[in-house]
Amino acid sequence: MEDARDRGLTLNPRYDDNGLITAVVTDAGSGDVLMVAHMNAQALALTIETGLAHFWSRSRGSLWKKGETSGNMLAVRDLRIDCDQDAVWIKADPAGPTCHTGARSCFFRRIGAEGLSEVDAAD
């Protein structure tokens, strides 16, 4: 049974027991998946307010603005929420590499029968 959260136009995120929702970030130009992170209510509000992606770090237990120290911020071009409002999709213009390793995307390795291999920049 659907409710207003499923079909309505009122933002009403369904945070998990830890107060988080999943955030998938893609490159607004290429469509490539750049990263997956988590947001709490404050991170989502700051992202909406500033137009720059903010997240909640589960490992550090703190709020962080992507690129605050590296300069590789994510300028939000489009922000969407899924049907049951427990995940967001950020289409962003990255100012540089998205991954903390320096890779363009956090998804720079492919899983195959032989194990892991690096993905070519053209892939």
In a domain, 38, yes or no: yes
- Count of CB atoms situated within 10 Å of the CB of 111: 8
Residue 32 annotated in ligand binding: no
- The answer to whether the beta carbons of residues 106 and 99 sit under 8 Å apart is yes
Residue 3 annotated in ligand binding: no
Q: What is the mean pLDDT of the chain?
A: 94
CATH number where 80 lies: 3.10.20.810
In a domain, 69, yes or no: yes
Residue 17 annotated in ligand binding: no
**How many structural domains are present in the chain?**
1
26 is written with which tokens?
């893609």
In a domain, 123, yes or no: no
- The answer to whether the beta carbons of residues 76 and 89 sit under 8 Å apart is no
In a domain, 36, yes or no: yes
Q: Under the phi-then-psi rule, with left for phi > 0, alpha for psi from -120 to 50, and beta for the rest, what region is 21? A: beta
Which domain does 38 fall in, by range? 4-118
Average pLDDT for 69-87: 96
In a domain, 94, yes or no: yes
pTM given for the model? 0.91
Q: Is the pLDDT of residue 1 over 60?
A: no
